[in-house]
Structure 1
Amino acid sequence: MRTAERRTTAGRPLRSGELLPVRQLAVAWALIVLIAALAWVLTVGQARDMGVEPGTMGLALPLFLLLWLAMMAAMMLPSVAPVALTWTRGIARGSRGATRALRTAAFLSGYLLAWTAFGLLAYGGLALTGGLVERHPDAARWIAAAAFALAGLYQLGPLKDICLRHCRSPMAQLMRYAAYRPRLRDLRVGLHHGAYCVGCCWALMVLLVPLGVMNIAAMAGVAALIFLEKLWSRGPLLARVAGVAFLVLAVLALFQDWLLPGLHGSMTPM
C-alpha cells in the first residue's frame, strides 16, 4: 500500500500531508522537555551559588522575576505539558512540526506569563517576611506556621478543588477557547489556563517562604506534588492528604527549626 494511502487506527485514509500522532507530537514534546531541562539546570546552578537566604535574597525585582520564571518553567512545565499538547494538536491538525512547535511555544509563553505575574506578589511577600525576620528573629516560627497552615487550609478548601478539576479535565474549557480569534489565541489560552493553575497551586508556592525559595529539595518536592495532583488518578485525594500534612507541619514549625531554613538563612551553597 502506498504511503499516501495509509490508514489511521480509526480506518480513515491518512492524507499525504498528515502525520501519524507520534510524529505529530514529537517536536512539541521535545520543545517542552528541552525548556524544562534547561530551566532546572539554570535553577540548580543559581541555587548552588546563592544558598538559602530569607527574603528576596538581595535580588532586585527584575532579576528576581527572571529567576522566578526559570523556577516556574522547571517546576510547572512537566505537569502542563499534556494540556499544551492537547490544545496545539487540536487546533493545528495537519500542521507541520515546526508550526506546532511555535503554537506550543506561544501557549507556554502565556502560561508562564501568568506565573510571572504571581511572581510580583511572591516578591512582595518575601520582602515583607524577610524584613520582619531581620527585625524580629523570633517571628520566623510564626511566619512558618502561618505559611504551612495557609497551604493546608487551601488544599482542603473549595477553590482548590475547582481549579484542580479544571487542570485535570480542561477539555470543556479548551473547546470554548476554540472560539477565540486566531490572533494571539495560543498566548491567550496559555494565559487563561495559567491563571487556573495559579489558582490551583499558589498556596504550595507559599511553602517556599519557610523552606527557602532556592531550596532545590523543596522545589522538587512541590513540583512532584503538583505533577501527581494533576495527572495521577488519585490526585484529588493526594491534595487533601497533603493539606492535612501541612496542618500538622504548621504546629511542628513552632518547635522545629529544621522546618524553616528559608527564614533562618544559610549562606552555604546547596
Structure 2
Amino acid sequence: MRTIQRPSTKDHPLRRGVLLPVRDLAVAWSLLVLIAALAWVLTVGQARDMGIEPGTMGMALPLFLLLWVAMMAAMMLPSVAPVAVTWAKGIARQSGGATRILRTTEFLLGYLLAWTAFGVLAYGGLALTGALVDRNPDAGRWIGAAAFALAGLYQLGPLKDICLRHCRSPMAQLMRYASYRPRLRDLRVGLHHGAYCVGCCWALMVVLIPLGVMNIAAMAGVAALISLEKLSYRGVQLARVAGVAFLVLAVLALFQDWLVPGLQGSMTPM
C-alpha cells in the first residue's frame, strides 16, 4: 500500500503565505499603537502642567527635544503605520520574531531621528519668536500671520506635492530600500522615509507656533490632518484645501488675537 504523506504544517502554503504575515502584521501594529498611545499619555500629562505661551517655555534644548520626540511619536506614528507595517511584512520571512520587532523598532528610531533633527530647528524658531514677543507683544499677530501664510503657501507648492505623493506610495520606496546594505539598513530606511515626512509636514508644525506648541487641541487637529493627507484617497486635494484655509487664517490673525494664543505675552491656561 502506498503511503500518502501529509504536508508539514511548517511548509503549508497557508502558513507560509498567510498565517505568518498576519501574525507579523499584528505584532507590528500592536507595537505602533502601544508607542503612540504612551506618547499621547506622556504629552497630555506634560501639557497639563504647562500653559500656552510663546517661546521655548523655559525649557533647555535637551528637555525640549525629549518632549518633541514624544509629541512626534504621538502625532506622526498613526500616519506612518502603513509604511512601517509594510516594511515589517517585507522582512517577516527573513527574520525571527524577536529580530522582526528589533528591526521594526530600528525603523521607527530612524524615522524619529529625522524629526529630532527638525526639532532643533523648531527650538531655534521658538526661541526667536519668543524673544520678539517679549520685546514687543504686538508682534505676535504679525508672527502668527506669517506662520499661517508660510504654511498655506507651502501646502499649495510643488515640494509639498512631491513629498506627499512619496509618503502616499510606500511600495515604490520599499523596492528601493531592498537594495540597501544590511548594516543599519532599517535605521537608514526609517531615516530616509522620515526625511520625506519632514518635507511633507514641517509647515503644518509651524502653525503650532501661533496656536501653541503645547496646545493639545491644536496638536490633535494637526495630527488628524496629517493622517488624512497621507491615508485618505482625497489626501492631495485635502492638503490644498488646508493651504487655502491657512492663508485665510493668515489674514484674520492680524485682527483676531484669539487665533494666536501661542504668541500672547502672558501664559494662557490649557
After TM superposition, the score normalised by the length of structure 1 is: 0.94
Deviation (angstroms), 1:135 = 0.3
Structure 1 consecutive aligned stretches of length 4 or more whose deviation exceeds 6 Å: none
Which of 35-44 and 22-31 deviates more? 22-31
Matched, 1:150 2:156: no
Deviation (angstroms), 1:177 = 1.0
Give, as a single letter, the amino acid of the residue that structure 2 aligns with 1:141.
Answer: R
Whether the aligned pair in 1 keeps the contact of 2:155 and 2:243 (CA below 8 Å) is: yes
CA offsets 1:1-29 (integer angstroms, 9 cap, x no match): 76445433xxxxx459x843221211111
* Root-mean-square deviation (Å): 1.6
CA offsets 1:57-106 (integer angstroms, 9 cap, x no match): 00000000000000000000010011011112113325333221111100
In the other structure, the counterpart of 2:120 is: 120
Q: Secondary structure at the match of 1:241?
A: helix
In the other structure, the counterpart of 1:163 is: 163
In the other structure, the counterpart of 1:42 is: 42
Give percent identity, aligned residues only: 84
Whether the aligned pair in 2 keeps the contact of 1:107 and 1:186 (CA below 8 Å) is: yes
Deviation (angstroms), 1:216 = 0.2
Distance 2:187 2:47 in 1: 30
In the other structure, the counterpart of 1:188 is: 188
Whether the aligned pair in 1 keeps the contact of 2:261 and 2:268 (CA below 8 Å) is: no
Structure 1 unaligned spans of 5+: 9-13
Q: Secondary structure at the match of 1:92?
A: helix
In the other structure, the counterpart of 1:177 is: 177
5 Å-filtered alignment, 1:15-26, equals 15=16, 19-26=19-26
After TM superposition, the score normalised by the length of structure 2 is: 0.94
Give, as a single letter, the amino acid of the residue that structure 2 aligns with 1:224.
Answer: A
Give, as a single letter, the amino acid of the residue that structure 2 aligns with 1:232.
Answer: S
In the other structure, the counterpart of 1:80 is: 80
Distance 1:192 1:217 in 2: 29
Distance 1:262 1:15 in 2: 53
Give, as a single letter, the amino acid of the residue that structure 2 aligns with 1:209.
Answer: I
Whether the aligned pair in 1 keeps the contact of 2:36 and 2:73 (CA below 8 Å) is: yes
Q: Secondary structure at the match of 1:55?
A: coil
In the other structure, the counterpart of 2:135 is: 135
Whether the aligned pair in 2 keeps the contact of 1:27 and 1:98 (CA below 8 Å) is: no
In the other structure, the counterpart of 2:245 is: 245
**Which protein has the larger Cα radius of gyration, Structure 1 or Structure 2?**
2
In the other structure, the counterpart of 1:234 is: 234
Deviation (angstroms), 1:173 = 2.0
Structure 2 unaligned spans of 5+: 1-5
Alignment size in residue pairs = 264
Whether the aligned pair in 2 keeps the contact of 1:51 and 1:266 (CA below 8 Å) is: no
CA offsets 1:170-228 (integer angstroms, 9 cap, x no match): 21221111111101000000001000000000000000000000000000000000000
